[in-house]
Amino acid sequence: MGDMLFLLVPDEEWEPLKASWLDALVSHVEAEAVRHALNGYSVPLVRALGISPVGALHKIPHAYFLCREVACPSRDQRCNPLSKKCPLCYSLAGPFEGQTLLIANRVVEKWREGGYVIIWTGE
């Protein structure tokens, strides 16, 4: 299968985003599957993976698609996560603020890199 990119987020860090639309687009995986993968046995983790990173980007609701920085002088249609010319300053629009905005932006950034986002649950 080759190398895969992941962003691992502990369940307690993800708590404020559980009620958001982002929660349906990430993979929720038991900690045991993550431990197995870290020790070289990736089958349980790969089986638990959900939607692909590109698929997740396509499922971002249109209302939140364009960059939230409305006052940015260079904001235009390329300021979306599917654009190959999306600037590094892109920030996901929506009801996110503070720490939840930072986590949401990390999630979208990882999807743009082709990586999966995994929320691990349990001990």
Please indicate, yes or no, if residue 60 is contained in any of the structural domains: yes
**1 occurs within a structural domain:** no
Give the model confidence (pLDDT) of 31-69 as tens digits. 899 889 889 998 999 899 989 999 999 999 888 888 888
Torsion sign (Cα): 2, 52, 86, 92: negative
CA pair distance 49, 100, nearest whole angstrom = 23
Token pair recorded at residue 94: 């929506």
Q: Domain total for the chain?
A: 1
**pTM for the complete prediction?**
0.85
Q: Which domain holds residue 58?
A: 6-121
Strand partners, 78: none
List C-alpha distances in Å: 27 to 49, 84, 121. 6, 25, 10
CA-to-CA distance for 95 and 93, rounded, in angstroms? 7
- The reported pLDDT for the residue numbered 3 is 65
Residue 51: per-residue pLDDT:
92
